[in-house]
Chains A and B, each alone.
Chain A
Amino acid sequence: MSGYGLLPFRFTRFDDARTIVVNEAGEHHFLANDDLQRFVMHELPAGGDTFLDLKAKHFLFDSGSIAPFELLATKIRSKKAFLGGFTSLHIFVISLRCEHSCHYCQVSRVSADRERYDMSEETARRALDLAFRSPAPRLKIELQGGEPLLHFERVRQIVEEAQRRAADEGREIEVVVTSNLAMLDDDMLVFFHDHGVFLSTSVDGPEALHNANRPRPGNDSYARAVDGIRRARAVLGHDRVAALMTTTRASLQSPEAIVSEYLRLGFSSIFLRPLSPYGFALRSIRTTGYSMREFLDFYVRALDCILDANAKGRYLAETYAQLLLTRMLTPFATGYVDLQSPAGAGIGAAVYNYDGDVYASDESRMLAEMGDTRFRLGNVHRDSYDAIFGGEALRRIVAASVAESIPGCADCAFLPWCGSDPVHHYATTGDVVPHVPTSDFHEKNFFIFKHLLSLYERDPAIRRIFWSWIRNEAVPSQEVA
């Protein structure tokens, strides 16, 4: 053939001089603005560097060879491989009860009413039946609350039964317990050790900030969490305990102190998370809330601190950047239920509430607590697996979350790295389809993609740190780059 043909891609102006083009498989290339013009007008000189770069990255083709199409097709298929296993994450809300009363917490209750707020043995068993119906080769069972340690007999039952069934079926299983660790005792630790359980806890920052965010009787949330982390590491191993932080209005001023706290506590990752617009969080927006712009300013400052620490030889990965960079720079699939297309609600993760209701996501459950049950997929006592995981409710959610068909997403340069979260869009705007120009979801992700690219482009040392996050290993001492 003469000349060349274009392969599917999207683009956006990156800075004054350059445009970024991203192909369907998520490979990107920077072009001088003039070159973009030449490229789409079929005027790039064949054999020039720009031509060859775009050809090698599958933005154009210039022969009858099937190779570019075969390679591109494989890469697109690989990127969507997270869909292959169907629902792999199964979240059990063991109890709604909690002795904390965090301002941002979505749904937990300080209550002694076990009858009312605890998951029953029968509900747990039926939920496990559903989880094991999933075709996913690897199952992840996450036990949360409320505070799951307040209902430890149910923790025991689910972990033991899940592991027994996994062994019978020859399936891999991972169990995570999400806890504030305040009620962690030695018997529990021995149980976790014997069953290879991972712990996920909350650390919001230095003691004063943490305790202000997470009130409990005695105002000792921080001391109990730190003590729990120390004891759990001693018994389970250092890497079996991870922590998450939630950003509140009070956090915005202290990115340095929060990052320092994670370093001091010896963590290898930190997840800078904004508040979720749900439940109590939405109601207390005036005291704990902030705009997305304020969060992003915080994110940038905190990320700088994290990069500084890494540059000095201390490995600390920011979990969200790690996820996005893996999507941007590698051919691998990364499922993340809150940011994928179609969304992971129901098809990547399912939530079994204490009362047996099944939700497409934790956020769906929180909306239900506020009286809106539209994202409830069914109930473990009343509905079959097929009705819950193949029913209309889930089909509607999935169909609404295909970013490739959402106005404003469909032609966004960063679409191959991004996704949609219909539950979030609904909670914030009343519509499962986002209004992209005013969406905080779009504002956040578009900004962070661009920010990460700028950092990556600017500094070879940062590039190396980013790659070490992608590999999830500290930068080797003998450096090639």
Chain B
Amino acid sequence: MRLHEVVAVNGVDRQLIGRVTRTPLSSGRSDAFLLIDDGAPAADAAGYLGVLAVGDFSGAPGSPVAHGLRHLDYLDDGDVVVVDPTGFVRALYRRASQHNFILATEQCNSLCLMCSQPPKTIDDSHRLAEHLRLIDLIDPATAELGITGGEPTLLRDGFLQLIARCRERLPHTALHVLTNGRLFFYRSFAEKLGAIAHPDLVLGIPLYSDIDSHHDHIVQAPGAFEETVIGLHHLDRYEVRVEIRVVLHALSIPRLPQLATFIARNFPFAWQIALMGLEMTGLVHRNLRALWIDPADYQKELREAAAILVDAGMHVSIYNHQLCVLDRRLWSLARKSISDWKNVYLPECNGCDALEQCGGFFQSGTRIRSARIHPLSSSAA
């Protein structure tokens, strides 16, 4: 990944966020960074928010400049970049990607045993302004945008501001928020979110068990189950779409079919049920002994749970599973979800005829994996 690096800057006295362009602009320069690739001819850099240049650049006196970038070929017109006074340059949004997201905050009120993005106890609420500015700069033709964390709702009113800004600036962009839903236990918070009436919003909310104490243990937060399940009902009351997300591991598998029944009975309004394989990153490694189960060993429970939900007319998607260890009857529910830059395959995958359909592995997750990964022949695929 080449989404950030630290380089030399001149004239950058505050954080600058802007769209990048290689194409000279006649208007809107104040929102844009001009990109100057290595060997590019000298350009008129006047009036831009700043200049990002490969190698040394001194062609824009008075303009903020970040130079000495190793290369810029990962950036295209319309991408959004932030430049800090320290010289830290990060891409916040890439127009060509299907996987743009805003990391709303790194704080969290849970500490899930398998968290792939462990939270930090820092006050990063000042980043709200950066997020709002970013939303202003994102191409309104963007199909989908994620909001993730940490726990985005910890921004409280700031969270509502983010959603409202998306509705205002990106009305055609599907918005997918990952949240534990706990704060929607407070009905007024759900009501305020509903009142924003975002046209294409889904909250992805995890539920790991039909038993409160089991769920609370997995998320390492007493009372979380109560807050989440009541939060789900509050969200439905205010017509906010929810997706229920279940990560499959040794602690969630034993009552998975019962959890499916619980979901069908108590949350029939859920827009989708996502059944997700364990992502081998973050806190998982610390808790591996408690969490690991070979996916090949939980197909019975997975199939039973999926059947209960499908029978009940719910929309079920299975993510993060390699097809060679997924029951064939579940293939129609499998989605190739792993983002484009994380997909990898193994030597065992050589010669597999199902590679095209298969999500493969997280880059981070090839070391610990099912013992039964094997190539499929087209007669079977």
Contact = CB atoms under 8 A, between A and B. Distances in A.
Instruction: Please indicate whether A and B come from the same complex rather than being unrelated chains.
Output: yes
B178 interface: no
A70 B230 contact: yes
B265 A70 contact: no
Interface stretch (B76-84, B326-334, B342-350): B326-334
B233 A480 contact: no
A75 B261 CA distance: 14
Contact of B210 (A56, A63, A65, A470): A56
A37 B211 CA distance: 23
B195 interface: no
A71 B258 CA distance: 16
B3 interface: no
Interface residues of A, number: 27
Contacts of A53: 258
What is the interface of chain A mostly: helix, strand, loop, or mixed?
helix
A481 B268 contact: no
Between A27, A55, A75, A481, the greatest number of chain B beta carbons within 10 A of the residue's beta carbon is seen for A481
A290 interface: no
A330 B312 contact: yes
B313 interface: yes
Given A52-B255, A56-B211, A467 B266 contact: no
A2 interface: no
Interface centre among B230, B233, B265, B333, by most chain A C-beta atoms within 10 angstroms, is: B265
A335 interface: no
A63 B225 CA distance: 12
A464 B258 CA distance: 18
B292 interface: no
B313 A471 contact: yes
Nearest to A66: B226
A416 to B, nearest CB: 13
A480 B310 contact: yes
Contacts, number: 73
Interface in A447-481: 463-464, 467, 470-471, 478-481
Contact of A467 (B226, B261, B306, B311): B311
A320 interface: no
B373 interface: no
A74 interface: yes
Nearest to B233: A74
A184 B185 CA distance: 58
B211 A52 contact: yes
A27 B303 CA distance: 22
Given A330-B268, A331-B268, A65 B226 contact: yes
A385 interface: no
Contact of A331 (B212, B229, B266): B266
Interface string B256-275: 00100110111010000000
B268 A67 contact: no
A479 B329 CA distance: 6
Interface in A24-74: 27, 52-53, 55-57, 63, 65-67, 70-71, 74
A213 to B, nearest CB: 37
Contacts of A52: 210-211, 255, 258
Contacts of A14: none
Contact of A71 (B223, B233, B268): B233
Contact residues on B (Cβ < 8 Å of other chain), bracket = 20 to 34
A332 interface: yes
Interface in A373-419: none
Nearest to A67: B226
B312 A70 contact: no
B307 interface: yes
Q: DSSP class of B's interface residues: helix, strand, loop or mixed?
A: helix
Contacts of A74: 233, 266
A286 to B, nearest CB: 45
A67 B265 contact: no
A103 B262 CA distance: 49
A57 B266 CA distance: 10
A225 to B, nearest CB: 33
Given A55-B211, A56-B210, A480-B306, A467 B258 contact: no
Nearest to A329: B312
Nearest to A481: B307
A76 to B, nearest CB: 12
Interface string B114-128: 000000000000000
Given A65-B226, A71-B233, A481 B266 contact: no
Given A67-B212, A67-B229, A67-B230, A331 B265 contact: yes
Contacts of B212: 63, 65, 67
Nearest to A463: B311
Contact of A75 (B211, B266, B306, B312): B266
Nearest to B268: A331
Nearest to A73: B233
A31 B123 CA distance: 52
Contacts of A480: 303, 306-307, 310, 329-330, 332-333
B209 to A, nearest CB: 9
Interface in B206-245: 210-212, 223, 225-226, 229-230, 233
Nearest to B213: A63
Contact of A481 (B223, B262, B310): B310
Contacts of B332: 478, 480
A331 B265 CA distance: 5
Task: Output the residue of A53, A65, A332, A479 with the most chain B CB within 10 A.
Answer: A65
A471 B330 CA distance: 20
A428 B265 CA distance: 37
Given A56-B262, A67-B226, A464 B311 contact: yes
B356 to A, nearest CB: 19
A63 B223 CA distance: 11
19 contacts: A52-B210, A52-B258, A56-B255, A57-B262, A63-B212, A65-B223, A66-B226, A70-B229, A70-B233, A74-B266, A329-B312, A330-B264, A330-B312, A331-B264, A478-B332, A479-B329, A480-B306, A480-B307, A481-B310
Instruction: List the 5 closest pairs (A to B, CB-CB), nearest first.
Output: A481-B307, A467-B311, A56-B210, A67-B226, A478-B332
Given A331-B265, A470-B312, A480-B330, 18 more contacts: A53-B258, A55-B211, A56-B211, A57-B262, A65-B225, A67-B212, A67-B225, A71-B233, A75-B265, A75-B266, A464-B311, A467-B312, A478-B329, A478-B332, A480-B306, A480-B332, A481-B303, A481-B307
